[in-house]
């Protein structure tokens, strides 16, 4: 959990500084090695939104030279999860993807950009307030994916299980 302990300060710094955003992208590439080959990185980290991207390159392509469906799913999951990690304290809450549903609309032939939003009101009413009364909850977050030409590539709905760490039971 040492990497996650640094995350809140890194996220806050990345909101204010392009250099710190670059450092955060490097840090997350090391923390999440599965995403590194895809070249996924954060473009923008606001208080209520996150924009992430994956480049159009051979490693991310399918057999017809479009961005592969799995790459689209990965960038959507990353965007959604990062927004939660930036809004919830990762030392206090565990986040696990429970379900992923994607509607693919258009074949991406350029870099893709995923955007996820979570308002303060939605965070308070639908997440923090219920978590004050229960150990865990399921929350579905929508992420829109577009390509570099503004074509709507996909809409992803990621359902997250959010659970307080003090309620996590693991086998010894």
Tokens coding 167:
């309620």
pLDDT in tens, 21-50: 898 888 888 878 787 888 899 999 999 999
DSSP 156: E
- In words, the CATH class of domain 2-167 is alpha beta
Tokens coding 171:
């086998």
Evaluate if pTM is beyond 0.85: yes
CA distance 119 to 4: 23
pLDDT in tens, 91-124: 888 899 999 999 999 999 999 999 999 999 999 9
């Amino acid at each position: 959990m040492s990497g996650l302990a640094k995350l809140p300060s890194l996220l806050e710094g990345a909101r204010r500084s392009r250099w710190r955003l670059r450092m955060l992208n490097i840090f997350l590439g090391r923390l999440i090695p599965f995403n590194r080959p895809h070249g996924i990185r954060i473009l923008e980290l606001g208080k209520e939104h996150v924009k992430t991207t994956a480049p159009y390159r051979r490693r991310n392509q399918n057999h017809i030279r479009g961005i592969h469906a799995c790459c689209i799913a990965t960038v959507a999951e990353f965007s959604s999860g990062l927004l939660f990690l930036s809004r919830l304290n990762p030392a206090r809450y565990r986040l696990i993807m429970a379900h992923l549903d994607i509607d693919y609309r258009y074949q991406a032939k350029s870099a893709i950009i995923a955007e996820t939003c979570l308002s303060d009101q939605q965070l308070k009413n639908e997440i923090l307030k219920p978590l004050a009364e229960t150990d865990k909850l399921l929350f579905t977050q929508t992420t829109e994916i577009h390509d570099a030409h503004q074509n709507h590539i996909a809409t992803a709905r990621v359902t997250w299980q959010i659970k307080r760490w003090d309620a996590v039971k693991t086998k010894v």
